[in-house]
Amino acid sequence: MITAGVGVGYGDDAHQAGVDACLQAKTELGDAKPHLAIVLASVEYDQEAVLAGVRSISGDTLLVGSSTAGEITTNGPVDRHSVVIMLLSSEHVSFWAGVGEGISESATEAGRKVAIAVTEQTDEALKTFIMFPDVLVGNGADIVRGALEELGPHFPLVGGASGDDFRFEKTYQYLNDKVYSGTVVGVGISGDCTFGIGVKHGWIPIGMPKKVTKAEGSVLHELDEKPAISVYEDYFGEEGAKELKEKTLAQLAITYPLGMKVEGSDEMLIRDPITVDEHGSITCAAEIPEGSEIQLMVGSREEAVKVAEIAAQSAVEQLEGVKPSAVIIFNCIARNKLFGERSGDEIEAIQRAVGAETPLIGFYTYGEQAPLGGEVRNIEKCNPAFHNETVVILTLA
């Protein structure tokens, strides 16, 4: 059995916000002893002070977490900067945590390091692995790739990239008493538990597919042997595309990202364009390999709400009849911007599937990690990847 409690802290005092959040989570948990604390906090707060406040209540409970681009609780998206905490307790489930440093030197190696740091602590087989990477300093897809080198190529990995309230300057990761940056923190779960992972975005392809004829990592140079910006020129016209060169693509990507066809998913893998240079090359949030086929995508609030509920239903169905004990959501900041003041609609849709009273925590991310298509039960078809503009839902029971 797993029990969970969720708490939220507000106000200008970072230490007190951490105290208040942890006290509320502990009250919800009741008499059960906490075995894992997941802490998610706004960068508006002094990060060390937040952790000090939390630890003054949680003691030496294993702690992991991340700074965010917005926090989510059982009551929905938090409408001001906050600290949110989920405490998890179980006598039959074990949690193991570690950190992989040096993403800016080698994102792949940092991914390997976090997986090694966790797996070397136990001989038990891990059921799933949650990660909180910093993708402002390195390629998120490489971090996933590195972790899978140790966990296995089809291991059901899940997670969300740290945020900093849409500033894109510096993010933070937490492990016990320490605040990190430029790292990936991970937690492995083993023991008598079951889990489900739902993955959907709901963006729809428009226009004709284009082939990536020149690319380097996350930089897209040519599509069909034309400058990459042509994918937007074809849709918005040259004048519209000219404006994109003078401004950032990030705002446009909220509604019009790029989609890449991938094997194993009924949805295209989303890639956020960030900037475009004078040659028309587009830098994306993660890699798009040469030879890939991509299309312009369009998003709508209605479709995004609909697929969020479908993803949650899938995550619940994977529990095979057991009611979820806790829900963790990794939700792209682009989805929050798309919804605006109606961001609660998406969380309500998820709760229709998981249960309105089920303890729930989450945050708005700078990228999500999850198996393509949410496939986790057939190990040969479980192919974790780095996603953009996607909602990822983890259910635990």
Share of the chain above pLDDT 90, in %: 81
List, in order, residues 6 or more apart from 388 with CB less than 8 Å away: 257, 270, 271, 272, 285, 286, 332, 334, 367, 368
Indicate the helix (H) or strand (E) that contains 65. strand 62-67
DSSP 123: S
So what's the pLDDT on residue 233? 84
Does 20 have pLDDT greater than 90? yes
Does 1 have pLDDT greater than 80? yes
So what's the pLDDT on residue 277? 87
So what's the pLDDT on residue 344? 95
Does 375 have pLDDT greater than 80? no
Average pLDDT score over residue span 92-112: 98
CA distance linking residue 159 with residue 45, whole number of Å: 23
Does 379 have pLDDT greater than 70? no
Indicate the helix (H) or strand (E) that contains 29. helix 14-29
CA distance linking residue 312 with residue 245, whole number of Å: 38
Q: What is the pTM of this model?
A: 0.95
Question: Cα 158–68–129 angle (5° rounding)?
Answer: 20
Structure tokens at 328: 């963790």
Residue 234 pLDDT level (bands cut at 50, 70, 90): confident
CA distance linking residue 247 with residue 232, whole number of Å: 14
What SS3 state is found at 188? Answer: strand
- Unique residue bearing structure tokens 């002070």: 49
Helix runs in 89-227, H state only: 107-119, 140-151
Does 315 have pLDDT greater than 90? yes
pLDDT in tens, 220-233: 999 999 999 899 88
In angstroms, the first-to-last Cα distance of the chain is 7
Please provide residue 51's backbone torsions phi and psi, each rounded to the nearest 5 degrees.
-65, -40
Of the two residues 244 and 183, the one the predictor is more confident about is: 183
Does 340 have pLDDT greater than 90? no
Of the two residues 169 and 242, the one the predictor is more confident about is: 169
Q: Of 184, 115, 199, whose CA–CA distance to 151 is shortest? A: 115
pLDDT in tens, 104-157: 999 999 999 999 999 999 999 999 999 999 999 999 999 999 999 999 999 999
Does 239 have pLDDT greater than 80? no
pLDDT in tens, 252-283: 777 889 999 988 788 899 998 888 888 989 98
